[in-house]
Amino acid sequence: MTPDPRDGKKHPAIIWITGGDSNSIDALWQPGPDSNDQTASAYRKAGIIMMFPSLRGGNDNPGVREGFLGEVDDVLAAASYLARQAYVDPDRIYLGGHSTGGTLALLTAEISTRFRAVFAFGPVEDIDGYGGRFTGFNPANPREAALRSPGRWLESVRSPVFVIEGAGGNIDSLLAMRSATRNQHIRFIPVHGANHFNVLAPANKQIAQKILLDTGPATNITLSPAQMAPR
């Protein structure tokens, strides 16, 4: 987590869930290239507090990986811890994630209104899209897959959620979810000229600046696909 800047202020903060093995975290404090910045460095460069939580069974944590189930509770527990930090504004905590992290972020938004806004990059509609990777449940039990598939629970979202993906990435899931719901709390943003990875840097730069200006009683964030396209 970003250390206390010791300026006496309460800062907006974002929890960021990485892709791939999203239960564990690696070396994340060095920014990646603009073509694939999975560290979401735009937020910390903008002065936003960042937290990378390690979830159950990841790194040296106790418990076992449940694959997009109990991990939702871990993300919410991380938010509770973050909100107690003296230098964090508890009313301006956001959630973001990429790929498997985007899937987990979207599932969390379907259960909780804890976050001021959620930014899910490249999530899958149905957990079967991972082909058995990143999941440890019994594939013969269809209920296990249904519980972990965010496309089934879109109507549960009750706070601002932005689902973002490059048109050259996992766009089929975004389009399928967009067709499946009319929930006004969710905005689906396909970014033309981008893929699953190079959408991250320009999009997060835009979101970071929006977060800095998002100071009212409710979020005022709007996002433009054109501004998210790689230059």
Is residue 2 included in any domain, yes or no? Answer: no
pLDDT score for 46: 97
- Report the number of distinct structural domains present in the chain: 1
Q: What is the dihedral of CA 146, 150, 155, 158, to 10 degrees?
A: 130
Query: Long-range contacts for 64-69 (Cβ within 8 Å, ≥24 apart)?
Result: 64/136, 65/23, 65/136, 66/136, 66/137, 67/127, 67/134, 67/135, 67/136, 67/137, 67/148, 68/100, 68/103, 68/104, 68/107, 68/127, 68/134, 68/135, 68/148, 69/137, 69/147, 69/148
Instruction: Kindly tell me if the per-residue pLDDT of 216 is higher than 80.
Output: yes
pLDDT score for 134: 85
pLDDT score for 169: 96
d(CA 130, CA 16): 20
For the chain, the average pLDDT equals 95
Single-letter code of the amino acid located at 40: A
Is residue 70 included in any domain, yes or no? Answer: yes
pLDDT score for 28: 87
Is residue 4 included in any domain, yes or no? Answer: no
Is residue 3 included in any domain, yes or no? Answer: no
Q: What pLDDT, in 10s, does the model give residues 62-77? A: 999 999 999 999 999 9
Its domain, for residue 108, covers 11-228
Q: In CATH, what number is assigned to the domain containing residue 47?
A: 3.40.50.1820
pLDDT score for 140: 78
d(CA 51, CA 188): 25
Residue 227 pLDDT level (bands cut at 50, 70, 90):
confident
Q: What pLDDT, in 10s, does the model give residues 178-205? A: 999 999 999 999 999 999 999 999 999 9
Instruction: Kindly tell me if the per-residue pLDDT of 125 is higher than 90.
Output: yes
Residue 55 pLDDT level (bands cut at 50, 70, 90):
very high
Residue 27 pLDDT level (bands cut at 50, 70, 90):
confident
Is residue 216 included in any domain, yes or no? Answer: yes
pLDDT score for 2: 96
Instruction: Kindly tell me if the per-residue pLDDT of 136 is higher than 80.
Output: no
Q: 150: how many CB neighbours lie within 10 A of its CB?
A: 28
Instruction: Kindly tell me if the per-residue pLDDT of 137 is higher than 90.
Output: no
pLDDT score for 172: 97
Q: What pLDDT, in 10s, does the model give residues 80-94? A: 999 999 999 999 999
Is residue 1 included in any domain, yes or no? Answer: no
Is residue 177 included in any domain, yes or no? Answer: yes
Instruction: Kindly tell me if the per-residue pLDDT of 33 is higher than 90.
Output: yes
Is residue 206 included in any domain, yes or no? Answer: yes
d(CA 124, CA 66): 17
Choice among 105-109, 127-131, 142-146 with the minimum mean pLDDT: 127-131
